Structure 1
């Protein structure tokens, strides 16, 4: 067995024992240009997992934001500062995600309608209101959802 083969086996076994140490070892190998010794299979798996995780976090933040915007619009009498905080917090999380990875904006647009449908179900479940109260298509545009100053209009003619 060559030295490179034994190093590769050691790195792969480290993956199962200590993820942070494994990552640091692979980072060091990359910096040193020792590409043959890198645990490529697990590294690719971890990188793909990171992308999925970022997308799942964005989707989750969007669902929560949309749900609270729906609650804010359709339950004016129950509005709380907690709802406003949640709207603010999840907008910030989404904005932060876009700052770190601007390419996530395209994914955001792709999942917007699906996330709105999820938010309708969540809002109905949390409020006890019929899902029919919430329109089948989002009453909010992408721009409104991301606008830090936007809150849904609560005038009676806009409430169904």
Structure 2
């Protein structure tokens, strides 16, 4: 007897893009009984995790560059400012596409700042104590295109 489940797993593991295309085709034709539900559900869950990881990563980059901007003014550059603008844009795009991420952004803000401060220490060579233990910026400032600390 031929096992659909084995076929799903094989295709999923050997040709991911073909697995996606095959799954979409089955869903469009409402051929639900032959859909690889186990892997499809896992992929959808991963998409949500990926969105959250992306949001956190972009937030850390903005905070890192704001700290460097504030605590190493002699090294301020267009590339730092450009990075701040780019990562703010990514945060706003993620929030626009998925407004339900806003509470998550608020919940990770303090932890993201701690990570950004550690990275700022490494990148600037300044002691960790240089940077405040609590984030000196409000979330609304961090995502505001006009805000740069002095």
User: The TM-score by the shorter chain falls in which range?
Assistant: over 0.9
Q: How far apart in 2 are the matches of 1:8 and 1:122?
A: 45
User: What residue in structure 1 maps to residue 124 of structure 2?
Assistant: 127
Secondary structure of 2:147's counterpart equals coil
Runs of 4+ residues deviating >6 angstroms? none
User: In structure 1, what is the Cα distance between the partners aligned to 2:91 and 2:136?
Assistant: 19
User: What is the TM-score with the length of structure 1 in the denominator?
Assistant: 0.88
- Give, in whole Å, the separation in 2 of the partners of 1:6 and 1:119: 49
- 1:70 to partner: Cα distance: 0.6
Q: Note if 1:57 corresponds to 2:54.
A: yes
Measured in 1, the distance between the counterparts of 2:146 and 2:8 equals 50
Q: 1:157 maps to which residue? A: none
CA shift digits 1:66-125 (9 cap, x unpaired): 000011111111111111011001001111111221111111111100000000000011
Match of 2:18 among 21, 27, 39: 21
**5+ unaligned residues in a row in structure 1: which ranges?**
155-160
Q: Which residue of 2 aligns with 1:113?
A: 110
| Residue in structure 2 matched with residue 30 of structure 1 by the alignment | 27
**Distance (whole Å) between structure 1 residues aligned to residue 128 and residue 8 of structure 2:** 52
Within 1, Cα distance between the matches of 2:128 and 2:44?
38
Specify the structure having the higher radius of gyration (Cα).
Answer: 1
Count of aligned positions: 150
Q: Does 1:147 align with 2:144?
A: yes
Which stretch of structure 1 is more off in the superposition, 58-67 or 99-108? Answer: 99-108
Counterpart-to-counterpart distance in 2, 1:28 and 1:78: 53
CA-based RMSD of the aligned residues comes to 1.4
Q: Describe the superposition over 1:27-52 as per-residue Cα deviations: whole angstroms up to 9, x where unpaired.
A: 11111212111111111111111111
Give TM-score, length-normalised by structure 2: 0.94
| Structure 2 alignment gaps of length 5 or more | none
TM-superposed deviation, 1:12: 3.0
- 2:72 is equivalent to residue 79 of structure 1: no
